[in-house]
Structure 1
Amino acid sequence: MKWNQALKSYQDYLRIERGLSLNSINSYSLDIKKLMNWLEINNSKESPIKISSETLQQFIYTIAKEVNPRSQSRIISGLKGFFNYLIFEDLRTTNPLELIEAPKIGRKLPDTLAVEEIDFLISAIDLSSPQGERNRAILETLYGCGLRVSELTTLKISDLFFEEGFIKITGKGDKQRFVPIGDNTIRYINLYRKEVRVHQKIKAEANDTLFLNRRGNGLTRAMIFTIIKQLAEISGIRKTISPHTFRHSFATHLLENGADLRAIQQMLGHESITTTEIYTHIETSFLTETINKFHPRKDS
């Protein structure tokens, strides 16, 4: 089996059997393509069925000079998954990366915005333009519902159940969940729909898509990043922020205000509570305040 054939087969498996999104499949594929490119540069003829641990150790040694430990760990993990798939298909009997350890890395947490900073970002939006109402609704939805950027860009009008107080989200692996939505977020979405979206000429394929660009088509992930980056510059916020920062802030603020961790897990759509614990990192000062307020021996 040649590398291109094995990669195509693996991509089909990720899409059909595991139900992964195109972005996830592309990410996994990139790791394999890095290895394929390295093999070509080094004139190696080893196939995915025959490639040895020694060759892969040399590849890992090479990329260790080019990428940080976190990226190196991701590449090793991605390749392990690929070779596990070949074992699953009875094309190999062992995983050549089985004894290769990924570098140890700490948990890297994104910056969290304070409530005041989120208010400041939203107040920096120019509401005199049609895109202003849309952008305000976007930020309110990101923060108000804790969505991933891909979940926001694919959100449909038919997914809005405002009377019941929920929206239906299609997350990773096409798994669906219902997320509560507050009155404030509902109000800004309705303003956008009635004042801006209703006046747009909408492409047929985007007729049910909630948030649209000026040409009446769905927004891209890159466009959401650009909107937030520009607002951060206008606001003078020096933190490194992205759409995911709003999701992290959503979870952190809920936890700080007493929300149950399991409830936050369900709203975020995490399979594992461990993942939720990473996203809901809270400051030491808040923990100290909690001990001082609630511990029975706080005054002793």
Structure 2
Amino acid sequence: MAGLRKRKGIYYIRFFKKVDGKRKQKALSLGTKDKRQAQKFLLEFEDKFNRGEIDPFNGWTPQMEAEKKRKKLKGKYLPLDKAADQFVDLRSQANKTTKKNYRRHLEMLMDALGRTMPVTEIVEQDIRDFCFRSDISIATQASYLRHLKVFFRWLHEKEIIREDPTADIKPPKVPQKITQKTLTKEELEKVFEAFDVYYKELKKKGFATKPEQMRLWFKPMIMTTYFCGLRAKEAVNLTWKNVSLDEGFIRITNSDNSNTKSGKDRTLPLRDDLKPWLEQWHKDQGRPLDGYVFPSATGVNEWSQMDSLSLSKSFKKFAKLANLPDSINLHGLRHSCATDLLRKGVPITHVSKFLGHSSVTVTQIYEHLDENDLKNSINKYDK
């Protein structure tokens, strides 16, 4: 078991194990200030630790792993096809589908530039010509650039190239289609059904025997995110001190840890559909007065923070198992909340404050009434 910790701007990975019934921990510097990179290291090293491939309690360090990877590189001046092979092979934290997608994009780049093109000679204009072709959609252009940015950033980090040719290229703005990202209460119920089926099967096979293996937090946390329109960071940073079950409100604060994006605190009414879920969860947790509402199940105590990326991946996993569209993700719950409130007739100014938007203009992207919404709205005034 492992987790992340930040000290003076640098991320550390903490490993935990039990020795003679006592819990021991070891913290090692990851040497990075980038949270996304640190989270990738966490997934990779925790997996290797669980498989017994590394032993941080007996001399292993992340720096040793980095040096091992560097030795696999065959010099700085690589042809594109060899660089692509090494890039895909070294992405141990990526699943088969992700690796396949990187391979596909890099194969297309090789078709355009040549398989033996030295990566040191690829320039920004080459990337722009490849990504921003007029015969492909804006969404496809963005996908091409997104995959290539990861590849060339890796080449730069490994000092195979002096400069990243994608560094100054901004992705094209993909037109927002909020309707493709929202989901109904019925669809959310399908996600929960997929969750139940998945863990019923795991329990049957004996793979989930402990509470922390069952993701018991999943349903109450997703319901809170849905009915409060929370961002992922706001959800993982919510504390019991800012939840009043008796008075019926939830306070989202702009503390150093919560990052409300707009920089403003906001107080939300505890909606009727959510209240029983939070009351039961509060009871299950022993009715705490403070601590995270949804702490990490694998952490030390109620102040062990859940990772927002893990939350997003968990939701995406069960949305996929429920056969929902690929466009559905965790942030779509926030879109769904806004859409639901507007359809119920809540004034847009109130919805804007509820979501913590900087202005009503931001909230106007949710005013995507379809023909049935428009018909129902008009009928109310005609009666």
User: Which bracket does the TM-score occupy, shorter chain normalised?
Assistant: 0.5 to 0.7
Q: Counterpart of 1:112?
A: 182
Q: Counterpart of 2:239?
A: 156
* Cα displacement (A) at 1:231: 1.7
Q: In the superposition, relative to structure 1, how do residues 116 and 233 fare at CA in structure 2: closer, same or farther (>3 Å)?
A: same
| Matched pairs, number | 217
| Preserved CA contact (<8 Å) 1:162 1:186 | yes
Of structures 1 and 2, the one scoring higher in RCO (CA 8 A, sep 6+) is 1
Q: Counterpart of 2:222?
A: 139
Distance in 2, matches of 1:177 and 1:106, equals 29
Q: Counterpart of 1:187?
A: 276
Distance in 2, matches of 1:242 and 1:152, equals 15
Q: Counterpart of 1:230?
A: 317
* Cα displacement (A) at 1:295: 4.7
Distance in 2, matches of 1:266 and 1:23, equals 29
Query: Partner letter of residue 175 of structure 1?
Result: K
Q: Counterpart of 2:360?
A: 273
| Preserved CA contact (<8 Å) 2:338 2:351 | yes
Distance in 2, matches of 1:119 and 1:147, equals 19
Distance in 2, matches of 1:23 and 1:272, equals 29
Q: Quick one: percent identity of the two aligned structures?
A: 27
Higher strand residue share: 2
Farther-moved stretch of structure 1 (228-237 vs 137-146): 228-237
- 5+ residue gaps, structure 1, are 1-21, 25-40, 45-55, 76-100, 201-206
Query: Partner letter of residue 108 of structure 1?
Result: K
| Preserved CA contact (<8 Å) 1:133 1:188 | no
Query: Partner letter of residue 349 of structure 2?
Result: R
Q: Counterpart of 2:160?
A: none
Aligned to 1:243, what secondary structure does the other structure show? coil
- 5+ residue gaps, structure 2, are 1-33, 37-119, 146-169, 201-209, 255-259
Aligned pair partner of 1:176 in 252, 262, 265: 265
Is 1:215 aligned to residue 298 of structure 2?
Answer: yes
Superposition TM-score, scaled by structure 2 size = 0.47
* Cα displacement (A) at 1:213: 2.2
Distance in 2, matches of 1:116 and 1:102, equals 34
* Cα displacement (A) at 1:247: 0.9
Q: In the superposition, relative to structure 1, how do residues 283 and 115 fare at CA in structure 2: closer, same or farther (>3 Å)?
A: farther
* Cα displacement (A) at 1:63: 6.5
Q: Counterpart of 1:245?
A: 332
Higher helix residue share: 1
